Structure 1
Amino acid sequence: MNTETTKTAEGYHVPVLLGESVDGLHITPGGIYVDVTFGGGGHSREILSRMDSSAHLFGFDQDADAENNLQRPGTDGSAPLKEDKRLTFVRSNFRYLRNWMRYYGVEEVDGVLADLGVSSHHFDDETRGFSFRFEAPLDMRMNKRAAKTAADVVNGYEEERLSDVFYLYGELKNARRLASALVKARQGQPILTTTDLLKAVEPLFHREREKKDMAKLFQALRIEVNREMDALKELLQGAAACLKKGGRLSVITYHSLEDRIVKNFMKTGNVEGKRQQDFFGRIETPFALINNKVIVPSTAEQEENPRSRSAKLRIAEKK
């Protein structure tokens, strides 16, 4: 494999629900927008194409590889995004959205877009440990500057805590047995690579579901390492605080844990989905749903881009 291909913007992924998610922002040409998952820059380029010279876009990403994509031309040969003065790149986790907007003196924004899926770049980079397809160090950090790795979780967590991670974030029914197997295996020697991990748990997976359950296991570890659910909750709260009246929030999710949080927040204003009513019995929420029914990729997009098959788009407007 030519590992250089994973370092290009094209190596990230074809943007999922590109038209639908950007349409959902209902872009005002002179507005201020935020793409909190910059990645390969696909969504950002589309947003910029609909803005005039007075508008501004903030692109967030905590990964240095994503920042490098600013220097590369678009897939259509267009200029590198670093040359577009309307774009400010923020190398940070999107959980700090509100703090960074304050830093830049921005009190309100017209729209926030989030594509929560893990980039194919991360799965295809053999050195990062996101995929069980390659032998690699158990890392899984989106932000390489962060301290905790997947190896720290697997070798350092108590059995009950490991079981909770696998059950809550991987929805694995045999979470307790998996945790027990890992605790037993690490007593012999530390579990430091993806291969070490697979050897310890492989006997617990049925052959017909092996790949799906392995993917769930890796998903659970990745979510724990990067504190993805906490970050998502803080992003949604930050977006609600930053959006102006009539501003749009457009969010693409890929698994039920994310989607449940986003749906609850858009419907009720809190991630638990607790409905609070005013004196007249109306639900109090900062948002009005633009699409009551979740938007999914077309059949053609799913055939062309398998990554899109689990994608769901929800759009809401600030009241």
Structure 2
Amino acid sequence: MEHISVLLNESVAMLEVKPDGIYVDCTLGRGGHASAILQQLSAKGLLIALDRDEQAIKQSGQTLSKIGSNFKIIKGNFDQLKLLLATKNITNVDGILYDLGVSSPQFDQNERGFSYRNDGPLDMRMDQEQSLTAQEVVNTYSQTQLSEILTKYGDEQFAGQIASEIVKTRPLTSTLQLVEVVKKALPQKVLKQKKHPAKKTFQALRVYVNDEMNGLEKSLRQAFDLVKPQGRICLITFQSQEEAIVKKLIKEVTISPYHQVLKSLPLEVDDQTKFKLITPSPIKPSKKELTLNPRAHSAKLWVVEKK
């Protein structure tokens, strides 16, 4: 399936791209958002794009070069955001974008092991040079560890039963083997639901293998430092853990600890916060977008601006 960038127009519009600005796409993927940003930049502007996936970098590099040459792609994890930008002598930027969803090509390439619909190795690594795979986790972690991973990163109600079944059945080497184990562990009422029974298990393993939640928190804290005054950070989340981290960190930088006291005062007082929240309620995909791209259904766009 071709990758369709989620909330593309809304997120790029919210960045308020200045033609001569420096912008960072922390999640290049197949280059949808990056292309839209690059199209708005003049020759004086610069786009920096990050990704861990060699295939994504190669494909997106070709796409972007058809639009302009004022971009740089850096292979690396966005949790090293400051360091990666420093290698290009960049210490502050005009805007930063995160699209936290996994790109469709990653799901659709069976050999990557992200999909619970097709058979492939239990891999799930965003960065193919990384050593830890889902196969190692599934086959070597204790039942308690597996149960904790499925609960924490997948909100899986039946984590204990699934972990027990994994330990009983292993070694497991393929995605569809894991799907069968999950199905065996779940009650009939869950199997009859519309949602795929292994969705939460696969999500949890992917998040854990790629250390996505820790990476997001580290990266966003660096993004707050890097963005210039009047610069914006736009984040597209897809699941509850991402959302919880984004909400927590946005609250830290937009709400003063003295907020309640200041609110009750009869005069305007600077609350000393560095950011303002542009989206009190996150922006969600339109009905039209959901019709064209069902994978967008859980997406939410959050925007903050440095004062």
> Is TM (by shorter chain) over 0.5?
yes
Q: Does 1:292 align with 2:273?
A: no
Secondary structure in structure 1 of the residue aligned to 2:302: strand
TM-score by length of 1: 0.88
| Corresponding residue to 1:258 among 242, 250, 257 | 242
Give the CA deviation at 1:73: 4.3
* Alignment partners' CA distance in 2, 1:121 and 1:41: 12
Contact 1:70 1:80 in 2 (8 A): no
Q: What is the number of residues matched between the two proteins? A: 297
The CA deviation at 1:201 is 2.4
Q: Please name the residue that 2:163 is paired with.
A: 179
The question of whether the paired residues in 1 share the 8 Å contact of 2:183 and 2:191 is answered with: no
Kept after mapping to 2: 8 A contact 1:129/1:138? yes
Structure 2 letter corresponding to 1:52: S
Q: 2:257 aligns with which of 271, 276, 285?
A: 276
SS in 2 for 1:302: helix
Identity across the alignment (%): 38
| Aligned-partner SS, 1:139 | coil
Could you tell me which residue of structure 1 aligns to residue 13 of structure 2? 23
Unaligned runs of 5+ in 1: 1-5
**How do 1:60-209 residues align onto structure 2 when only pairs under 5 Å count?**
60-73=50-63, 80=66, 84-186=68-170, 190-205=171-186, 206-209=190-193
Pair 1:249-2:233 in alignment: yes
Q: Distance in 2 between matches of 1:201 and 1:168?
A: 17
Picking from 300, 303, 307, the partner of 1:312 is 300
1:70 deviates by 3.5
Distance in 1 separating the partners of 2:274 and 2:102: 28
Rounded to whole Å, the distance in 2 between the matches of 1:41 and 1:99 is 22
Q: Which residue of 2 aligns with 1:3?
A: none
Check the 8 A contact 1:269/1:284 in 2, yes or no.
Answer: no
1:199 Cα deviation after fit? 2.8
Q: Distance in 2 between matches of 1:179 and 1:248?
A: 42
Contact 2:154 2:203 in 1 (8 A): yes
Alpha-carbon distance in structure 1 between the residues aligned to 2:259 and 2:246: 22
What SS does structure 2 have at the residue aligned with 1:269?
Answer: helix
Question: How far did residue 152 of structure 1 move?
Answer: 0.7
Stretches of structure 2 that go unaligned for 5 or more consecutive residues are 264-270
Structure 1 counterpart SS, 2:196:
helix
TM-score using structure 2 length: 0.91
> Residue 60 of structure 1: CA displacement?
0.5
Q: Deviations over 1:77-121 (max 9, x none)?
A: xx535xx32100001111111111222111210000011001111
Question: 1:42 & 1:123 partners in 2: Cα distance?
Answer: 17
Q: Which of these residues, 19, 40, 49, is aligned with residue 59 of structure 1?
A: 49
